[in-house]
Structure formats: structure tokens, C-alpha cells
Amino acid sequence: MMALTLGGKSNTGIVASSMKVFEGLSQYTYNILNNGTADEMEYLLMRRKICGHAVKLIANARQQNK
């Protein structure tokens, strides 16, 4: 963490903002996984094929291509 903040105040602000967004998305995801309905949990999954293998990934549901 120290190496990331040595660039100056602007880099520190970017890192702090990124950490807040990551923390918020993580809290939202874990809240749905722990307390959500089956439909809400299904909405979090993104289904893709990677190298011919069908995989399910936890993703930001707003970014899915439907």
C-alpha cells in the first residue's frame, strides 16, 4: 500500500476511491449471497464460455449482456 501512495495526493485519492467502491460492491454481493432470495442470487451470476468451458462468475449484474 505504501508504494501506491508515494506518487502523490492524486494517487492516494484514486486508491481510496477505488477501495470504497470495492468495499461497497463486496458488501452488496455478500449480503445477497448470505441473505438474498434464490432469484437475487441468480441475478448476480454471469454465465460465459471461456476456452470452450461454461463457467459461472459472480459479476456486477448491471454489466451483463442480456
7-63 pLDDT tens trace: 556 667 777 888 888 898 888 888 888 898 988 887 877 777 888 888 887 765 445
Which pLDDT score, from 0 to 100, does residue 56 have?
Answer: 80
Which pLDDT score, from 0 to 100, does residue 61 have?
Answer: 46
Report yes or no: 32 and 41 within 8 Å, Cβ to Cβ.
yes
Model confidence pTM above 0.75: no
- What radius of gyration, in Å, describes the C-alpha atoms of the chain? 16
CA distance 12 to 17: 9
